[in-house]
Chains A and B, each alone.
Chain A
Amino acid sequence: MEEINSFKILLVEDDPGDDELIREGFRDAKILIDLQSVDDGIKALKYLRHEHPYEDSATPDIVLLDLNLPKKDGREVLGEVKSDPQLRRIPVVVLTTSDAEIDIVKSYTLGANCYITKPVNLDGFIKVVKTIEGFWLTVVRLPYNSGEY
């Protein structure tokens, strides 16, 4: 392992505002974070599978996934990731505005590693992102990620 090992996050989010807010939340992170984002479900799957135009993409340590996305929505992306032997080990954190019971249940059924509703105020939002950092990127042991399984 390299000494300076950045944490790779793939953010799947179609709202540029939320993209920026999430980056804002990671701004003062204590660890080095490499955050890449894509804005629809098709791009997300291509990114994860290193398909054109993402041939050089690195497999992320964690995926932050919005549910309501254009083209292929987050539920479908989640379903495909979790049923793909190459990708299923990557933790997927669902980060969405929906607090509908059906979305929560469905996401966990599909194999989401956790489900978070975006808080309505800035402080809440930033706190959630910091919690993701603190828990998923610090406390949790993730599978060693060499990009190959």
Chain B
Amino acid sequence: MDLVKDTSDHIELDQLIRSEATIKALLNASNESAFLYDDHGYVLTLNETAARRLNMEVKDAIGRHVSEIFPAEVASNRMKHINKLVETREPVRFQDKRDNLYFDLSMFPIFNQDGKVEMLAAFAYDITEHKLAEMQILKQKDELERSNQELEQFAYVASHDLQEPLRKIASFITLLERRYKGNLDENADRYIHYVVDGATRMQGLINDLLTYSRVGKQYSETTVVDCNHVLSQVMRDLEQVIKDNDAQIVFGEMPKLWANSVQLRQLFSNLLSNAIKFKGPNAPEIHINALQQDNKYVFSFRDNGIGIEPEYKERIFQMFQRLHTKEEYPGTGIGLAVCKKIVELNGGRIWFESENGTGTVFHFSWPIKGGN
């Protein structure tokens, strides 16, 4: 070789050596494995990380077939993808598991002059940590779902079975009150009154608990439901309340939803009766609207009632949370919890806006499914 005058051959060779060294350095600098296979699955070369993961020296691994360096299962999976790549000439990406490690592999073809796959470049990324975290999350999700189901089952059974003895207590204390009122002394009458009151209230609570735990358990089948019908039904159900409170209810054209009609009726009924119940100094005026927003409807129930302090925005949707004494406004505090459960079971969201003294707007969203 002429040391003084470079020939073009010399430059090419030099560039080749340098580029090979560059590639080698690049591959060895990587903490992930890199292989170069021929089209039959023999190792042409590999980087140091790959050798280290195989517990071999680089030179010992070169020339071996995948079946010689990997456990049978890993080798057969790899051969399957090598064959697939050779056949389809498309890059492949897959995962495999070796000992306790998980790998994400991608292989790219290198073609010869005839356009056939001559070699395959393969990179294996260790995704064990990621994979374990993912499995942990899935496991936790499973556990959470199971414990939620158990809790619901528990609530259902508890409320159902508690109702029976309570029915007995409530019935006989009422009978006692009716038959013996005035026959005992004043204290006794008052005590009995407290028992009747407590038992009646507990019946209400248990009944609500049952209602709540039944949402989604019963009446879960969905169809296309016309909200105009649901709303007129609810107005009929609440006819007396509407009349007694001199309430004005205004609503425009309502959409059709993919829903369960019993659930939807419960939802509308709770929101409407709340709007009437928590009225302000003036007769209740309630506006109900539904607007399409992208792939959902957003409903709003606007009232001119007493309003809700913003600090209660989370609490108000929890079970048995009440913001007023039962003397001010009767109720057990289940209505909005049921609303929230119904809306969320159907993939929507419920929230409110309110300024104290000027009324409240409850909104809920309902996804549009099946293009209805």
Contacts and interface: CB of A to CB of B under 8 A. Distances in A.
Interface string A96-127: 01000000000000000000001011110100
B175 A118 contact: no
Interface string B163-205: 1101110111011000000000000000000000000100100
Contacts of A18: 168
A17 interface: yes
A137 interface: no
A42 interface: no
Contacts of A122: 170-171, 174-175
A17 B170 contact: no
A58 interface: no
State the majority secondary structure of interface residues on B. Answer: helix
State the majority secondary structure of interface residues on A. Answer: helix
Nearest to A68: B164
B207 A120 contact: yes
B175 A120 contact: no
A24 B238 CA distance: 33
Contacts of B207: 120
Interface residues of B, number: 13
Given A120-B203, A120-B207, A24 B175 contact: yes
Given A120-B203, A120-B207, A125 B164 contact: no
A20 to B, nearest CB: 8
Interface in A7-36: 15, 17-18, 21, 24
Contacts of A21: 171, 175
Given A120-B203, A120-B207, A121-B203, A17 B164 contact: no
A121 B163 CA distance: 11
Contacts of B175: 21, 24, 122
5 contacts: A15-B168, A17-B172, A118-B167, A120-B166, A122-B174
Interface of A: 15, 17-18, 21, 24, 97, 118, 120-123, 125
